[in-house]
Amino acid sequence: MQIGFIGVGLMGGPLARNLIRAGKNVLVFDLSEEAVKRTLAVGTTGKAAAAVADLASCDIVFTSLPLPQHIKGVVLGETGLYAKMRKGALHIELSTIDPGAANEMRAAAEKAGLGYLQCTLGKTPAHAEKAEEPMFIGGEKALYAANEDLFKVIGIPSYVGTVDASCAVKLISNMIGMTNLAVLAEGIKVGDKAGLDRTLLLELLSDTGARSFQMDVRGPWIAADDYNPRFGLDLALKDVRLGLEMARAWDLDLKAMEAALVYYKNASAEGYGKEDCNAVAKVVGK
């Protein structure tokens, strides 16, 4: 089996490396030569592709790219990958995208005689590197079943049903997480005004209903004014925006998350987009 992998950055790179570590034949493409070199360094069964078109003969092609338009630009249209792939091949899409974009690609893949699975990811690049990444997979169940063992090589797969469901799980997770982070930042800001030491405040809150994943992970970073990028603020903004676009399309008015979106937009506008998403703390309370 020949596997293709397009996009080997923070999230795609670890997953591609897991395939190579397992001895799978993987053809890798990325605009960053450094990312490709880092991915191929873990084994001998990976090779670099000179162009996206080189992956047309692959049995399975994974994509892990920043935005929906990037993925659609690669696979759709007369010059896209779908027009060149062999009948019966499979596209597995790993990015955080909206259901509309995912279903557009699913329909185009089916028209071209290809399979399509949406596989959104639940945790961090560190989890992905250890093959501990939760994977929320949607699409035709028979396609999932036929490739379940491959998914287990690169992460912890869960079949969630439809393509819509796969997209929604990740977007819901990120909307809740980023809204929690904004609320945490607000709480820390109030603590500052009260004269509370940030580290002490977090310690006291950790045994209350205020505790959350964001408090445990990013609370200490905010307390130390550490905004080094682990998950960039602009990426968080993109995910919250896509999630709310999804919710609005389903006639939902999510007021708390809409308020959080404004914070992330403001933080990006003030130049914090390349910092960690906890840099939202720099604009709360203004």
The CATH architecture one would assign to domain 2-161 is 3-Layer(aba) Sandwich (3.40)
pLDDT digits (tens, 9 = 90+) for 15-42: 999 999 999 999 999 999 999 999 999 9
- In 108-120, which positions are buried (b, 16+ CB within 10 angstroms) versus exposed (e)? bbeebebbbbbbb
Helices (H), the chain: 12-21, 33-40, 68-75, 99-111, 125-129, 141-154, 163-193, 198-205, 213-223, 233-249, 255-267
Q: What is the CATH number of domain 168-282?
A: 1.10.1040.10
CA count, 13 A, side-chain hemisphere, 103: 10
For the chain, where do the domains classified as CATH 1.10.1040.10 start and end?
168-282
pLDDT digits (tens, 9 = 90+) for 258-275: 999 999 999 999 999 999
Is the CA virtual torsion 98, 101, 104, 109 positive or negative?
negative
For the chain, the first-to-last Cα distance in angstroms comes to 55
For the chain, where do the domains classified as CATH 3.40.50.720 start and end?
2-161
Per-residue pLDDT, averaged over 188-201, amounts to: 97
- Name residues whose C-beta falls within 8 Å of residue 264's C-beta, 6 or more positions apart in sequence: 178, 182, 233, 236, 237, 240, 277, 280
pTM (2 decimals)?
Answer: 0.86
Range from 67-71, 81-85, 97-101, 119-123 that averages highest in pLDDT? 81-85
Per-residue pLDDT, averaged over 95-100, amounts to: 90
Q: How far apart are CA 23 and CA 140, in angstroms?
A: 27
The active-site residue, picked from 24, 84, 170, 286, is 170
Let me know if 170 is a catalytic residue: yes
